[in-house]
Structure 1
Amino acid sequence: MKNVIDELELNFFKKRDKSISAPKDIEFPADDNYIYLLKNYLCGEIYPDVDLFSYDEFIKENKELKLGFKEVSEEFIIGNNGQGDSWFLSRDGVVFFYDHNDGEYELENFQNLNVNFIDFLKITLIIKKYEEDLDSEIQQKKFIKELNSVKEGIYDIFPYAYF
């Protein structure tokens, strides 16, 4: 059965030959699309600011999170940017950003992007598409318009400035 994840053309992630069967004692966010991605793809970098964890790394990172940071143990760390910042998915499927310059993992330090996982992927794919071609004002306007077509106002709250 095809999933919306398969339709996003994530050709930079290797599709697994066989889907992973997760143990019943492992807790996952309530987002079927994210779980599908974890079980069916070897994840990694989408663009330099978004590197999504593959299954094994997701399990390891979330075990450490649950043990070391009780206040945010209801959230799931799903990736990072390789410089100390992290991407989170809430239990109910909303994406958050954590900037390591804001201190320890505490909920008040998390930036709520108010997007679900699929919209987050769409946003990252748009950024990847434009990342090396934002020199002209025309391209910048197209970039902002396309980002905001996924979620109105997302350009203004997304954690990185692109020009």
Structure 2
Amino acid sequence: MMPPSSSDPAARRRRRPNSSGLPDWLPSAYLDALSSSEGELEPDLIFFGEARARRENLEFDDADYWLRGERPDAWWIFGESGQGDHWLLHTDSQVYFFDHDQGQRSAARFAFVVESLTQWLEIANVLESSDRSSDRIVRDALERISPGLADRYPFALA
């Protein structure tokens, strides 16, 4: 799935902060999770608290991090893998993954993972509750969250 453009004028308008200083398009599931889910949910699923998310996104706004002058208006970094890779929310509430080995950021380099933060949190629950001894059990659980997720998930499952 090709990510939406980050240069969309409507997306830039949605990036404006609300009274809390956070972009007004952030989904309520994200705002609710800010107070309860900070930290490492799984080794590759680290959820930022509000202060860390603000710092990461301030740095992320720097044009030098973007390929061909693209701007991050439609994106919000909410987590990392612990290896320099980022988990991002798009203004449509979908979750994407950016592998830092790809170089400068570009919407075209973001890989779609799931439809919502709620599904991303479900991934953490599946991985945490499994002993990972059976790749098939983990794959089946991920497929129940979102068809094709086992193949889209950017890390090894076993």
- The TM-score, its normalising length taken from structure 1, stands at 0.75
Greater RCO, 1 or 2 (C-alpha within 8 Å, sep 6+): 2
The aligned amino acid for 1:43 is E
Return the letter of the residue paired with 2:58.
Answer: K
Unaligned runs of 5+ in 2: 1-17
CA distance in 2, matches of 1:162, 1:42: 22
Pairs within 5 Å for 1:97-108: 97-108=97-108
| Residues 1:66 and 2:61 aligned together | yes
2:132 maps to which residue?
Answer: 134
1:30 to partner: Cα distance: 3.1
- The Cα shift of 1:134 comes to 2.7
1:52 paired with 2:50, answer no
Matched with 1:31 is 27
Number of matched pairs:
136
Q: Compared with structure 1, are the counterparts of its residues 24 and 48 closer, same or farther at alpha carbon in structure 2 (3 Å cutoff)?
A: closer
CA RMSD of aligned residues (A): 1.8
Contact 2:88 2:97 in 1 (8 A): yes
Question: How far 1:42 sits from its partner (Å)?
Answer: 5.6
CA distance in 1, matches of 2:22, 2:132: 42
SS in 1 for 2:157: coil
Q: Distance in 1 between matches of 2:82 and 2:132?
A: 23
SS class of match (1:71): coil
CA positional deviation for 1:140: 2.1
Pick which of 84-93 and 25-34 moved more: 25-34
Aligned to 1:43: 38
Per-residue deviation, residues 120-151 of structure 1 (Å, max 9, x unmatched): 11012101222xx233xxx3222111111111
* Contact persistence 1:94–1:114 (CA under 8 A): yes
CA contact (8 A) 1:42 1:55 kept: no
Q: 1:91 corresponds to which residue? A: 91
Alpha-carbon separation, structure 1, partners of 2:144 and 2:123: 9
Query: TM-score, normalised to structure 2's length?
Result: 0.78
